[in-house]
Amino acid sequence: MKPRWLIGAGLLLSTLLALALWTPDRDPAWLAERYLRSPADLVEVDGVRLHVREDGPADAPAVLFLHGFGASLHTWETWAQALSTDFRVVRLDLPGSGLSPPDPARNYSDAHSLALIEGVLDRLGIASASVVGHSMGGRLTWQLAAARPARVNRLVLLAPDGFASPGFEYDRAPEVPASLQLMRFTLPRFVLKMGLEPAYADPAVLTDPMLDRYHDLVLAPGARQAMLDRMAQAVLTDPVARLQRITAPTLLLWGEQDAMIPVTNAADYLKAVNGSRLVALPGVGHIPQEESPAAALGPVRDFLLR
């Protein structure tokens, strides 16, 4: 039998560790002051509050950008500014991401996300647009192009999600490890850094200001629970039949050093999407728009202007 003092010391140490690593939510007003450009950028679509940002002339051809899991519309900042001379650039934070609060119904299915994306386009009076999506946002982007071909002029997919990876199955909800549930209560900056660094071929690209932004926004009220809910609801179905329905000209952009979704996956998209082509970026990881924004934007800009 363990001495009572040892048990007590263990409980005390566990309590102190939990308190040391406890990571509370950021204050919404503080987040808005730091990351919200204008209160007018917060809009409501079908009862869901969304953070939407526009750049460029309102009468220019529209380009919609969709971010990946755990990211925000800020991931496109460099591209948005560079393209705003020729395009009406629209970015949004998906529910529970960035400055968009969680979905009140906790519905993070792809079907619901697509309905909200179309709702944003309708609200802005955009009948059709070129659409650029990264990772999870890429999965939503190609689904929009397959289901609503008249709404998508051109399609740009950056390391898109959609095909089942090893350990995942189609038509089955993934299991969210119990250990991840702890992030609702504790997500220190150094832990987030360890999780983000593998997304870059050169971890030094993840600067302190970038890491601060990721950390601040993932600590928005409800954001961590929304991430867990979204993970649990990410039920993949075999994408081939839907990909084959895409008629929009399609560009695939992939970092050759992508450790999240390997560039070899591009072959599946090239086979399924008629007329699609691939630009592979040497020495670049999973987030080209952040790791090598100028080099990655070149082929995208040419493609959109063609």
pLDDT tens-digit series, residues 112-154:
999 999 999 999 999 999 999 999 999 999 999 999 999 999 9
Mean pLDDT of 276-285: 98
Does the structure show a pLDDT above 60 at 42? yes
Mean pLDDT of 179-189: 88
Please check whether residue 272 is in contact with residue 240, taking contact to mean a CB–CB distance below 8 angstroms: yes
In this predicted structure, what is the pLDDT of residue 181? 85
Mean pLDDT of 82-106: 98
Mean pLDDT of 29-46: 97
Q: Tell me the C-alpha distance between 257 and 280, whole Å.
A: 10
Please check whether residue 276 is in contact with residue 252, taking contact to mean a CB–CB distance below 8 angstroms: yes
In this predicted structure, what is the pLDDT of residue 14? 46
In this predicted structure, what is the pLDDT of residue 108? 97
> Within 63-165, where are the H helices?
77-83, 110-123, 136-147
In this predicted structure, what is the pLDDT of residue 177? 83
Domain boundaries, given as residue ranges, for the chain: 24-305
Q: pLDDT tens for residues 213-237?
A: 999 999 999 999 999 999 999 988 9
Mean pLDDT of 82-109: 98
In this predicted structure, what is the pLDDT of residue 175? 82
Please check whether residue 162 is in contact with residue 136, taking contact to mean a CB–CB distance below 8 angstroms: no
3-state secondary structure (DSSP) of residue 296: helix
In this predicted structure, what is the pLDDT of residue 2? 39
β-partners of residue 50 are 43
Does the structure show a pLDDT above 80 at 78? yes
Mean pLDDT of 189-212: 95
CATH no., domain 24-305: 3.40.50.1820
In this predicted structure, what is the pLDDT of residue 7? 41
β-partners of residue 52 are 92
| Of 17 and 194, the one with more pLDDT | 194
Quick one: pLDDT band at residue 167, thresholds 50, 70, 90?
A: low
Give the CA radius of gyration of the chain: 20
Does the structure show a pLDDT above 90 at 16? no
Does the structure show a pLDDT above 90 at 15? no
